[in-house]
Amino acid sequence: MVGFPLLYRMLKPLTFLIAGVWLANGLFAKVLNLVPRHTEIVAGILGSEYARPLTIIIGLSEIIMGLWILAGGYRKETAIAQIAIILTMNTLEGLLVPELLLWGYLNPLFAALFCGLVYWNGCYIEGKRS
């Protein structure tokens, strides 16, 4: 712990921020449909027939991810799972429905930055703590 006190103080707020992204996107954007673009993205990738129920399932999965992050178990494995999900999701969206993305072709940049934050929080800081 010596030499990295600021990193350890940042760990908890950073964990809350990352979990908050999953919780907010899952609950507000997808389950409550406050951002209908998410259902349009699902429709563009998987078809419109079941887009709304699938969007709700995706949203519930994101809520579970946010709660799992807050639980704090298996930090490194959770970080790796998040990164895999984010990269897969953004690759599919970027290839199949880029016109529906919030930042268009800049989406991969923001996804990469978020993945870096997730990695730093779940793997790097955790490794320094051991």
Q: What is the pTM of this model?
A: 0.87
Residue 88's Cβ-count burial label (10 Å; 0-12, 13-18, 19+) is exposed
What three-state secondary structure class fits 34?
Answer: coil
- Asked whether the predicted pLDDT for residue 9 surpasses 50, the reply is yes
Q: Can you give the residue ranges of every domain in the chain?
A: 5-129
CB of 96 closer than 8 Å to CB of 44: yes
Shortest CA distance to 66 belongs to which of 30, 110, 102, 16?
16
Q: What is the pLDDT of residues 47-66, one digit of tens each?
A: 999 999 999 999 999 999 99
CB atoms within 10 A of CB 91: 12
Q: What is the pLDDT of residues 91-113, one digit of tens each?
A: 999 999 999 998 888 999 999 99
- The two counts, helices (H) then strands (E), for the chain are 6, 0
Q: How far is CA 96 from the centre of its chain?
A: 19
